[in-house]
Structure 1
Amino acid sequence: MTVKQILDQKGRNVVSVDPSMGTEEAVRFLSDNKIGAVVVTDPDGKIAGILSERDIVRAVASKGAGALSAPISAIMTAKVTTCGESHSINQVMELMTNGRFRHMPVEEDGKLIGIISIGDVVRRRIEDVEREAEDIKAYIAG
């Protein structure tokens, strides 16, 4: 299975925010949207970074409550690992595991076209394994 198949099933709607957004506002945004990370894009729609709950926790741990008054550009992860629609689930799972992150923007021609989470990837991988097990059972029984 590929990233394209995941996006075709789950949808390509992605919320993004501007780098100038305040951290406190971003915390509310994440909570209101029930998401753990948000892609930060520039006015041209190019990925400028990603802000995760982990980024916020690190900022508060190092700077105290004052971190909440900073713009998200000061605390976001600027070096973002992305994937394309042709990436396989196994490739994405390896990138996420090695990079120790849970959200990966999907881009095409430098533009954000979707986002996948480790939950999306694991869910599809489990479906694949279950389908393979059923195929083996059917083969043995037949």
Structure 2
Amino acid sequence: MNRRRRKKLSKRLVWAAMIGDTAGVEALLRAGTPAETTDPEGTTPLYAASVHGAADTVRVLLAAGASPDTESGHGTQGTPLCAAACWGHTEAVRALLAHGADPNLREDHGTGRSPLDWAATGPYAETSAALLAAGARPSWRA
């Protein structure tokens, strides 16, 4: 696949992931778009799906080889697990954890908030419980 086509397909994949278009994501993956790619802003498809709580799309991307711990953006976004935890998307959190996401990985290259820090900022007890069950440590015990 040439560079121009790959760039175009990558942008489409991030968009489809962001809106939770699982069928569109599957079609783009079949067309050869790598699951571990970015759009021009550095957003990964897995981050886009996670931040919007598109758990089915998260599962498809993980099954296609997207890394659950890849940071997204050019220093402006974070990890998929932090994104899902921030908004209380428990099913996306569970899917990421089931595929090996590190519940203690802090965003911003290890200097920012953890997924549990993000879940604790909102009324997301179920999300916090899922993270704790997966071994997340509260910041004051880190």
Asked if TM exceeds 0.5, the reply is no
**Greater strand proportion:** 1
| TM bracket (short chain) | under 0.3
